[in-house]
Chains A and B, each alone.
Chain A
């Protein structure tokens, strides 16, 4: 059965137009749940099966029997290793936006030369393979339309696939934006290939054998066919072919492109782990029946074209057209995807490194057109190869030549994933050696027909036995030089960083402090290289990726922004160029150690993401780190770590609860810029030379907090101090309020105890007033009446004074929280004396207040009054009616000591340890609460002072209060300094 060239051309054009429609419809209308479905991804990987698989596998099976399956089984082995091979590569490619295998090696070895070399080798290996696809289409067309000239067919086919690749494969300039239309079209092509071959297998089985049982009968009748089928497996290079197919399964540019670059979701790769081998199984399942059908029917054509010849025997034009379109599918899918992948590689590694970007032009448009130009150039070069290729070379030979070239990248993959010691020099040395052996042993013989290996007495590649030898020698020498050169010289710093980034995706940190302070400065810096528009777009895109805003100032966030920009640029123009641009334009100060503290949070968050990949000691260290961090997180104290440049790098949950400031907001912010009043409060303490404070009051909107602050310098291993500081905040608010409640209760209790004396004090003048009033009633002499009235007034003043004293004492309630102010201690002691002497038993006590009027301290006058009231009350209780209390002061450095001595019974030695404890009392039940001295102690501590117990010279008790001398603000128009006041204290 033959066709006219016109009908075949129309069929081919209609089919390619259908591909256009599928791609267009997928991008425009297909819902995401379908366009992102893993089945499409799995089928799109079917681009692996080219005309070599479609037509050539039958020839391969005829020539090499079961060896033809190695091409599929090797790929299955690669997919079995998905968790240890393909998934890590996918994570790496996605994380760093690598677009090709050349990008991968250039990134890992931080070497443009590595990328360039990989690109050159890939071009050399793939261009003849593209030519092979053109030849497959042209020869299949000729087989169906014998009068057709192959040249216009080949040219027309090349033009159509070029247009398709440009429209649907080069729309975006970064791998972030996927070509879902392209993926859908390639998936459809794979489906057509599979359907056509399976259908053909069914048809030819019926045609040649009647049924599947007929095939089995034929094989039993011809046992030599089965023996011939298995014999190459016993004698041939089974293992070597498995190995090169294993490499080709993910290193061929088209496989890498569809598997990694166009991957929409990592989970789809798991489906592909079994789905793609199943696709290959079904595809290859058709090959043996087709081969044996051709042999049974004794077709007089090359087995490479059994597919076309057999379908012609079916007398079904529709089936013939389907098989023909299956071949078109195999060829077009391969050329389109391979060309796209090669165009990325050529642009990133052969063009961009050698031209200067023009910032005044539209970078995106330039890249897009450059890539489109490369697509056309690669297909044109493929056509050129087709025009000059040796026609006698079988389809299989070119496929294996291409596979063997890709296998030379295998040692590099070990360096990428598993060997951090590997260097760029080792990779290049190995690749050059392996590549040269491949050129001499495989490429040149296929291109020229001359075989240098034969001149040396070695078997040529065309000889089946040489597949194994060439694979063995090229890879062995490649691996040997790779290891040798890697071990000869240690990896550079950048190679080490890249190796870490490859092993621990997401952990890569650029070291040093960023010199830029805002995203807008990023734009300014990038503009001279990328142009203003691209710089703006890239910074905005990176800000969006990192969920940051244009007002971002936090150094570690800007660090993340920088890394994101580098990754995004890497997707557009390759990792080496991207790194060069970022290193030059967004510079880091490598000597600034602040970077470590700034990166703490970043390191932690990335460790969290990568923890499942830790093993052994690393896993234990990570557990230890998590435990220590959890200790800090769970501490009920507020913890703030601040860098030397006053930026917050740790803000634990207790601090977030205390301040109401979210950790995300606090981290990276300058301390001063934290929301009020915390910013100024913490900044003030950081500036304070004191490392500890007593309780400090902080007025918030609706409450007052009492906080105790501590700080320490942070030292790093091997350095005395980094300049970073750690702040601890203790919240005493609840305790303070409780204390105040207790103090108030104590005050009320002491007022209760004073009640009898107060009643007596008030009773006397009232009695006197009553007597005077009675006398006044009967007094006729105005002068005497006036004198008596004066005496009544005098007595009421006396009552008024008593009431005023009591009211003053009871004035301060719980939580009043007055601000510290200058307090004249002599007056406070006098007030306390008046209060205490309201009690009858204290009225006979002799008070000797020797404090100078110049003695001022800063504090809460009411609370200090409470101190002396409590001390005097205790002293009065201990002394009895003939007691004597003396109050003296003595300067001691920057503080003043105030001693309160009495001539009572003193404090017994055995209760001294307990006397300051709350509720401890030696008084009878009902006469004391046991809170007096405890309150005194707390109040003095609050004022930053100390309290000590001692004995007076005459055996009584002596309480020594030590209060810090603080600058005293002007009082009554006169400024007093503590030094001036202290000079007058020695009394």
Chain B
């Protein structure tokens, strides 16, 4: 088992959290809310994040927990 399984997963999850904050809690989020996009726009962002989390979990799942 690679020694870095936990470390890489941690790094990737932190990057993903930063991306989520950028999309949902940053001036960028203020900008897109100001544009009043379709009501389901935020759900699409959310779904995209969930897909990325699932991909990360799938990779981490190969290792012993």
Contact = CB atoms under 8 A, between A and B. Distances in A.
Given A69-B42, A84-B14, A234-B30, A273 B20 contact: no
B33 A281 contact: no
Of the listed residues B14, B16, B39, B56, the one surrounded by the most CB atoms of chain A closer than 10 A to its CB is B39
A73 B50 contact: no
A611 interface: yes
A198 to B, nearest CB: 13
Contacts of A234: 30, 33-34
A233 B33 contact: yes
Contacts of A266: 65
Contacts of B5: 612
Nearest to B3: A612
Contact of B46 (A216, A281, A288, A612): A281
Contacts of B40: 285
Nearest to A229: B39
B38 to A, nearest CB: 8
A226 B42 CA distance: 13
A273 B24 contact: no
Q: Which bracket fits the contact residues of B?
A: 35 or more
Given A66-B33, A84-B14, A233-B33, A271 B57 contact: yes
Interface stretch (A75-83, A676-684, A835-843): A75-83
A619 interface: yes
A281 B47 contact: yes
Nearest to A87: B65
A619 B3 contact: yes
Interface residues of A, number: 43
Contact of A230 (B6, B17, B36, B61): B36
B34 A230 contact: yes
Contacts of A229: 39
Interface of B is mostly: helix
A278 interface: yes
Contacts of A615: 7
B1 A270 contact: no
Contacts of A613: 6
Nearest to A622: B3
A519 B58 CA distance: 43
A653 interface: no
Contacts of A277: 46, 49-50, 53
Interface in A51-107: 66, 69, 73, 76-77, 79-84, 87, 91
Contact of B24 (A73, A271, A281, A619): A73
Interface string A233-274: 110001100100000000000000000000000110111011
Given A226-B39, A267-B61, A281-B47, A81 B13 contact: yes
Contacts of A267: 61, 65
A79 B54 CA distance: 11
B53 A281 contact: no
A274 B14 contact: no
B33 A230 contact: yes
A87 B39 CA distance: 34
Given A277-B49, A611-B3, 17 more contacts: A77-B20, A80-B16, A80-B53, A82-B53, A83-B6, A216-B38, A230-B34, A233-B33, A239-B25, A269-B65, A270-B58, A270-B61, A271-B57, A274-B50, A285-B40, A612-B3, A612-B6
Interface of A: 66, 69, 73, 76-77, 79-84, 87, 91, 216, 219, 223, 226-227, 229-230, 233-234, 238-239, 242, 266-267, 269-271, 273-274, 277-278, 281, 285, 288, 611-615, 619
